[in-house]
Amino acid sequence: MTNPPPVKEFGYLPLYNFYEVVRANELKHKQLACEELLLTEFTCPLEGRIQAMWSHHNYFVYVLEGKKIWHTPFGSHELTRGRCVFVRKGANIVEQFFDAEFCIILFFVSDEFICETLRPLASKTLKNNDKHSPVISVQNDATISAFMHAMLPYFTQNPPPNKALLELKFRELLLNVAHNPHNREALSYFCSLLHEPAAVSLRKIMEDNFSYNLKLEEYAQLCNRSLSAFKRDFQKTYGQSPGKWLLERRLAHAKMLLSNSNLPVSEIAYDCGFENLSHFSRAFREHFGAPPISFRQTVHG
């Protein structure tokens, strides 16, 4: 894990759905699909050093070449050749480097598929934990390394592998990860998917992603709900609408950053999910009775 640089110093970064962008570019990225499951050999174009993206599906990343850093609100993760990680569904800021192409194998997998595959293994050996990093390391042992490289010929196989075989490969990957006792955090997260109440899951999604300017429909998608069900369940869980909660949560986070950091006000605005500085300043003044700069001056004397 690396320390996160001020990656939003470039201003507001529009979010794109990583899963949908990859799936829509079948000619650009070698890929194999079985229903919602998606496997791709992805070579990132050398353009744009900082990107903001989200995915309503979890995904495994195995790095074949190059380097990128996945930045999250809880820390940063440098991915280099031979590194394997599990990225939980949600949003991330990704930093690219231009000294080499970034080539990876991606396995997009839904919560439902993980549960269906691992439910027979659910036992006391799968310990749940309240906190899980958005990016979870997977030990690149001989089994994982051999598995990943053995997948490459499937992209050029003619005819392509049938869907039943492809589904088995996704299950094999999950079982390999679950079988390795070094992958405790991944096991814990899988356990949470199997046993966590829906209200707790919704809270985790919102707490992990409130600082990203996602639409309500996208938050609903992350929570595996329709928009109407999301709004209803959110009201039951938090006692207020998602729009009001998001604004208050972002402003509270901004207040903390103004009090405890030297970050520029513009950067704090973007870090807290506001599209522009004027919207942030107006909302902060209406909520706390003073604009951000005046508030900071008062706090710091």
Instruction: State the CATH number of the domain containing residue 85.
Output: 2.60.120.810
**Among 175, 205, 202, 207, residue whose Cα is nearest residue 190:** 175
Residue 1 in domain: no
Count of structural domains within the chain:
2
The DSSP symbol for 105 reads E
Take residue 243 and report the two structure tokens written for it.
């729009």
Shared domain check, 207 and 134: no
pLDDT on residue 14: 81
**Among 42, 150, 34, 36, residue whose Cα is nearest residue 106:** 42
The span from the CA of 214 to the CA of 210, in Å, is: 8
Shared domain check, 286 and 187: no
Note the helical H segments in 31-110: none
Shared domain check, 207 and 255: yes
The residue from 148, 179, 196 where one domain ends is 196
The DSSP symbol for 2 reads B
Shared domain check, 162 and 266: no
The span from the CA of 210 to the CA of 219, in Å, is: 9
pLDDT on residue 73: 86
Give pLDDT tens digits along the chain (301 positions): 444 444 444 456 789 999 999 999 877 778 999 999 999 998 876 566 888 999 999 999 999 999 999 999 889 999 999 999 999 999 999 998 877 789 999 999 999 999 999 998 765 455 556 689 999 999 999 999 999 999 999 999 989 999 999 999 999 999 999 999 999 999 999 999 998 888 899 999 999 999 999 999 999 999 999 999 999 999 999 999 999 999 999 999 999 999 999 999 999 999 999 988 999 999 999 999 999 999 999 987 6
pLDDT on residue 7: 43
Shared domain check, 51 and 171: yes
Take residue 123 and report the two structure tokens written for it.
């036992």
Buried b (16+ CB within 10 A) or exposed e, 68-102: bbbbbbeebbebeeebbbbbbbbbbbbbbeeeeeb
pLDDT on residue 127: 56
- Count of beta carbons in the 10 Å neighbourhood of residue 260: 9
Domain extent, residue 145, equals 7-196
- Count of beta carbons in the 10 Å neighbourhood of residue 165: 12
pLDDT on residue 123: 59
The DSSP symbol for 5 reads P
Residue 273 in domain: yes
Q: Strand order in 58-65's β-sheet?
A: 30-34, 37-44, 102-109, 58-65, 84-87, 135-138
pLDDT on residue 50: 86
Shared domain check, 32 and 123: yes
Residue 243 in domain: yes
The span from the CA of 239 to the CA of 234, in Å, is: 7
pTM recorded for the entire structure: 0.91
CB-based contact 154:32 (threshold 8 Å): yes
Shared domain check, 124 and 105: yes
pLDDT on residue 32: 95
CB-based contact 214:154 (threshold 8 Å): no
